[in-house]
C-alpha cells in the first residue's frame, strides 16, 4: 500500500487481506483454551494470544514427536514474536531440517536473522522462500548494518496531523520531511531523494498496484540522521511510477518504518510531539525502567509479527485483557479499528448510516464509525471515541497475510496523543505514560 507516498512491496504481495494493523486476541466468546497435549490445544493457546503456554505445549508435542514440523515451526515463531532469538533459531532450524523447502519456516528464519543484522545468513532463507528481492537486497549489505552513532536524538515533529512528520538528513544532505509508521517495515523514500543522495539499486522490480504500474528499487544507504542519532549502512527502498499518470500524491519525502525503530530504544512522545531515540544499551533500558517505576507505570509486553507489526495487551469495550495491535504514526482520524464481528460481539455502538469508502492494504472496503465505551492500554484510557469497524476484516488471518492468531483490533495514531510511549525491543516491553516524556 502507499503509506505516506512510499510504496510497500510486501503490502503488494500480501494485500489480499484487509487487516491493516490488526493484532491477536483471545476468543471473545467461549472459555479459556487449556494445554492438555496434542497440536489442537497448543494451537488454541497460540490463536488465543497465550504465547508462553502455547510455547510450552509445542515443546511437549516435540518431546513425543521430534518430527512434528508444525510444532517446531510454531515454537520457533513464539520465540520470534518476543525477540527471543536463541529459542527462535533453535526451533526454526529444527523445522528447516524437517522441511528445507517450507516457505513459512524460511520466511520466519529469514526475519529472525535480519532482526539481528545477520543479513548474509538470511539470504538463502529468502531464496528458499521465493523472495528474490530480499535475497538480492540483503546480499548487498556488507559489513555492520544499522551502525549507531550518537547516544540520543530528540527530533521534534514538524506536524502531527494527518500524519506525524519529522526532518531527517539523508547521506548528509539538506533536511527532508519524512513521516513514520510502524505498520510498515523498512526505510523508504522517494525516487527524487534517492537520486539526490546518489543511491544505486542492487535490485529492481516492476509491479502493479490498484491499476498503477510502479518500479521498486532496493539499495543500501550510507547515512540516515535523526537529530543526534545517525544510522549508517541501512537497507533502503525507493519507488517511482512508470508514468506520470501513475504517480500517487506526494505528501512527504519518505517513510520511516519499524526496522529503524527496533534498532533503537524508541520513544514516541505524542504529548511532547517529538521522537526520542536512544542507543539501546542495558544502562539506557535500566534508566527507562526506573523512571517508569517511579511514575507508577508498569511495563506491558511487546510482540512483533510479520517483521514489523507490533502488539501489546489491552481491552476494547470490556473485552478483558487481550492482545491488541499498536500502531504508531501513520495517517488517520480514528482512535482504534476492529473487525465487524468483534464490534458486533461486544455490542459496540456502530453508525451504519454513515459508511466510509476506503481501502485496506490496497483493497477497497467499506468501514463504519463505531464508539466503544472504553479503550484501555495499561493505564491509558479513552472513552466513547471515534473508531472504525470493518465488516470485511477477518478475526483470524493466517500466514502470510496475518499473524495467525485471533484479532480483536488495533490502537491507532489518535489514541496515543495524550501520552508518551517507549518501546524496548531488547526486553520487549512497552511503557505508556500520560504527558510529555522527561
pLDDT tens digit sequence for 79-137: 999 999 999 999 999 999 999 999 999 999 999 999 999 999 999 999 999 999 999 99
pLDDT digits (tens, 9 = 90+) for 339-376: 999 999 999 999 999 999 987 666 788 999 999 999 99
Class of 34-139 per CATH? Answer: mainly alpha
The CATH number of 147-265, from 3.40.1550.10, 3.30.360.10, 3.40.50.300, 2.40.70.10, is 2.40.70.10
Question: How many beta carbons lie within 10 A of that of residue 65, not counting itself?
Answer: 11
Task: Report pTM.
Answer: 0.90
pLDDT at 360: 66
Q: What is the pLDDT of residues 273-310, one digit of tens each?
A: 999 999 999 999 999 999 999 999 999 999 999 999 99
- Grouping H, G, I as helix, E, B as strand and the rest as coil, residue 80 is helix
Buried b (16+ CB within 10 A) or exposed e, 347-361: ebebeeeeeeeeebb
Neighbours of 413 (CB within 10 A): 24
In terms of residues, how long is the chain? 438
Ranges of CATH 2.40.70.10 domains, the chain:
147-265, 266-271+279-434
**Is the pLDDT higher at 143 or at 39?**
143
For the four alpha carbons of 118, 124, 130 and 134, in that order, the dihedral sign comes to: positive
Q: Determine the pLDDT at residue 359.
A: 74
What integer is the mean pLDDT of 15-37?
32
- Count CB neighbours of 210 within 10 A: 15
From the list 328, 294, 293, the residue with the least C-alpha distance to 420 is 328
The residues near 407 (Cβ < 8 Å, ≥ 6 apart) are 19, 22, 23, 24, 25, 325, 338, 339, 342, 393, 394, 395, 396, 397
- Residue linked to cell 482504534: 336
Mean pLDDT for 306-318 is: 95
The region, left, alpha or beta by phi > 0 then psi within -120 to 50, assigned to residue 88 is alpha
CA angle 129, 135, 141 (to 5 degrees): 145
Tens digit of pLDDT for each residue in 40-90? 799 999 999 999 999 999 999 999 999 999 999 999 999 999 999 999 999
What letters, b where the CB count within 10 A reaches 16 and e where it falls short, cover 81-100? Answer: bbbbeebbbebbebbbebee
Buried b (16+ CB within 10 A) or exposed e, 261-279: bbbbbbbbbbbbebbbbbb
Query: What's the CATH fold of domain 266-271+279-434?
Result: Cathepsin D, subunit A; domain 1 (2.40.70)
Q: Look at the block and give the residue holding cell 463505531.
A: 370
Q: Where in the chain is the domain with CATH 1.25.40.10?
A: 34-139
Q: Residue 400, preceding bond cis, omega within 30 degrees?
A: yes
Return the H-helix or E-strand segment holding 188: strand 187-190
**The three cell numbers locating residue 273:** 510531539
The CA distance from 188 to 238, in Å, is 5
Q: Report the alpha-carbon angle 255-357-163, nearest 5.
A: 25
The residues, any chain, with a CB within 8 Å of residue 40's CB and separated by 6 or more, are none
How far is residue 65 CA from its own chain's centroid?
33
Amino acid at each position: 500500500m502507499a503509506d505516506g507516498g512510499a510504496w510497500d512491496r510486501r503490502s503488494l504481495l500480501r494485500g489480499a487481506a484487509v487487516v491493516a494493523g490488526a493484532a491477536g486476541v483471545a476468543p471473545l466468546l467461549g472459555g479459556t483454551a487449556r494445554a492438555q497435549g496434542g497440536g489442537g490445544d497448543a494451537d488454541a493457546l497460540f490463536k488465543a494470544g497465550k504465547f508462553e503456554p502455547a510455547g510450552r505445549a509445542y515443546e511437549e508435542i516435540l518431546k513425543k514427536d521430534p518430527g512434528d514440523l508444525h510444532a517446531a515451526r510454531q515454537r520457533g515463531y513464539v520465540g520470534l514474536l518476543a525477540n527471543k532469538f536463541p529459542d527462535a533459531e533453535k526451533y526454526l532450524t529444527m523445522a528447516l531440517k524437517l522441511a528445507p523447502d517450507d516457505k513459512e519456516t524460511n520466511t520466519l528464519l529469514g526475519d529472525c536473522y535480519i532482526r539481528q543484522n545477520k543479513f548474509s545468513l538470511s539470504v538463502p532463507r529468502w531464496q528458499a522462500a521465493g523472495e528474490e528481492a530480499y535475497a538480492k537486497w540483503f546480499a548487498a549489505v556488507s559489513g555492520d548494518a544499522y551502525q549507531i552513532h550518537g547516544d540520543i536524538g530528540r527530533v521534534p515533529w514538524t506536524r502531527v496531523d494527518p500524519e506525524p512528520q519529522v526532518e531527517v538528513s539523508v547521506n548528509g544532505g539538506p533536511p527532508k520531511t519524512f513521516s513514520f509508521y510502524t505498520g510498515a517495515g523498512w526505510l523508504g523514500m522517494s525516487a527524487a531523494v534517492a537520486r539526490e543522495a546518489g543511491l544505486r539499486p542492487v535490485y529492481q522490480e516492476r509491479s502493479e498496484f490498484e491499476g498503477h504500474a510502479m518500479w521498486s528499487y532496493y539499495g543500501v544507504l550510507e547515512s540516515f540522521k535523526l537529530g543526534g542519532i545517525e544510522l549508517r549502512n541501512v537497507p533502503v527502498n525507493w519507488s517511482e511510477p512508470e508514468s506520470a499518470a501513475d504517480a500517487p500524491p506526494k505528501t512527504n519525502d519518505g517513510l520511516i518504518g519499524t526496522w529503524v525503530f527496533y534498532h533503537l530504544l524508541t520513544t514516541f512522545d505524542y504529548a511532547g510531539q517529538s521522537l526520542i531515540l536512544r542507543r539501546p544499551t542495558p544502562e539506557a533500558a535500566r534508566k527507562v525502567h526506573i523512571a517508569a517505576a517511579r511514575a507508577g507505570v508498569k511495563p506491558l509486553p511487546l510482540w512483533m509479527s510479520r517483521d514489523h507489526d507490533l502488539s501489546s495487551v489491552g481491552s476494547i469495550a470490556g473485552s478483558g485483557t487481550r492482545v491488541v495491535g499498536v500502531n504508531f504514526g501513520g495517517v488517520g482520524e480514528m482512535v482504534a479499528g476492529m473487525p465487524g464481528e468483534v464490534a458486533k460481539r461486544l455490542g459496540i455502538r456502530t453508525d451504519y448510516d454513515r459508511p466510509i469508502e476506503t481501502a485496506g492494504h490496497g483493497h477497497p472496503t467499506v468501514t463504519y464509525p463505531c464508539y466503544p465505551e472504553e479503550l484501555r492500554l495499561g493505564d491509558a484510557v479513552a472513552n466513547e471515541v471515534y473508531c472504525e469497524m470493518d465488516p470485511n476484516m477477518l478475526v483470524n488471518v493466517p500466514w502470510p497475510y496475518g499473524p495467525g492468531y485471533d484479532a480483536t483490533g488495533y490502537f491507532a495514531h489518535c489514541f496515543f496523543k495524550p501520552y508518551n510511549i517507549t518501546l524496548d525491543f531488547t526486553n520487549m516491553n512497552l511503557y505508556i505514560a500520560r504527558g510529555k516524556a522527561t
